[in-house]
Amino acid sequence: MFNLDGKVALITGATGGIGMSIAKQMKSSGAKLILSGTRQEVLSKLELELGDDVKTIVTNLSDKNDVMSLANEAEKTFGSIDILINNAGITADGLLLRMKDEDWDKVIDINLSSSMRLTRQVIRGMIKRKYGRIIFISSIVGYTGNAGQSNYSASKSALSGLTKSIAAEVASRGITCNLIAPGFISTPMTDKLSEDQKNNIIKNIPIDRLGKPSDISSGCLYLCSNEASFVTGTTLHINGGMSMI
């Protein structure tokens, strides 16, 4: 079940907690990997840990030329891209009244526009081969909103419409496109929270814990598998019941 033998996956944001978990779980399921991120040292360490059939590429997703180069180099590495995981994302939090245009622009550009550009390029090969799995990683706040994160919430909410539109366009070509919306996941980002802050969050989670990166990567593995071949244009909410959408 959920066997990815012979499949090639391109994962952005691979140096973060969720991206790293997705990479490890996909590799253990037989996939070949192209991992993109901004930190060469972390990428090199991950490549060494995962072993053969892993290629890492340092990418600045805010640079359109870098996005194009990533798509082209990834395609050449193993001859195809069967799975694309758009996981990279940034935050630049602040109340709307004080938010600078550049903080709005860079969050929208990385979280939404760069994912669109990469998908637009990668999808060409998928259409030719009549097979593909595309996943965007959104967030619970893309559906609930969050004070101080209007830019981040907007970027993650917009991914829902993008996902559904792509799914409708390419379903007949054997390509599925889905979205995963994580809740609060235990990563280096949440590690910065105090115990009181974490406890206040957990009070609102019926399952009574923060999520683990593996909770997200397991959902990702399912959506990439043959078992999910009839699932497209949908959002998988993995949030412990914090928001039952």
Number of residues that this document lists for the chain: 245
CB of 59 within 8 A of CB of 110? no
The whole-number average pLDDT for the span 51-62 is 96
Find the mean pLDDT for residues 95-107.
98
User: Quick check: 189 pLDDT over 80?
Assistant: no
Percent residues over pLDDT 90 in the chain: 94
pTM to 2 decimals?
Answer: 0.96
pLDDT value, residue 188: 76
Supply the mean pLDDT for the chain.
Answer: 96
Rounded CA separation 219/215 (Å) = 7
Dihedral of alpha carbons 27, 35, 37, 156, sign: negative
Q: Which of 184, 181, 179, 212 is nearest to 198 (CA)?
A: 184
Contacts of 116 (CB under 8 A, 6+ apart): 162
SS3 40: helix
Q: Which positions are annotated as active-site residues?
A: 152
In sequence order, what are the residues at sequence separation of 6 or more whose Cβ sits closer than 8 angstroms to the Cβ of residue 150?
Answer: 96, 99, 104
Give φ, ψ of 48 to 5 degrees.
-65, -40
Q: Is 218 helix (H, G, I), strand (E, B) or coil?
A: helix
The span from the CA of 72 to the CA of 60, in Å, is: 15
